[in-house]
Structure 1
Amino acid sequence: MSEQIVEEVDDLGQPAPNGDMVHWMEPKHIQVGPAGVTAAAIGAFALGVGVTLAVLALSDWLSPERIVEVRRRARI
């Protein structure tokens, strides 16, 4: 454990007085290889194609020329 005693809760988020940070608080660098970049590009392309097709399908389905028939239930 640590020998430092935190007297106030606000001091928990601040670095130590000597300027050192705990090693697990340091930001990690993103490391992506060629396979990761390729997978991200293919995924983004597939997502774009899917969204485009969905928008085109909805625009055709919600077009002003479409007549929506509402079936009413027969009352007995």
Structure 2
Amino acid sequence: MRTREEVYHQVRWDPRLDPARFVLGIRQRGAAPERMPLLSFLPGGEIPWHRILFVEADGEVVWDRATGVDRVGVSGAGHRRAPP
């Protein structure tokens, strides 16, 4: 299973994927995870990597540390749509 950092960088730089369609699940103390658009996450910023619990694309969990799911780039979720 890839790390959070590897998944983040794949989503940001893989031309097949649309980063605007991805959401990060961020651990909050004593509360449900907060969802944050991937494009709002700043590596090295206020939120440390270890607080990222999962990654969703188009409402589908495509990476989840707890369950071992790692389907970024494999499932159709988060892929760029062809121009009209």
Q: Give the alignment's TM-score, normalised by structure 2.
A: 0.19
More helix by share: 1
Q: Which has the higher strand share?
A: 2
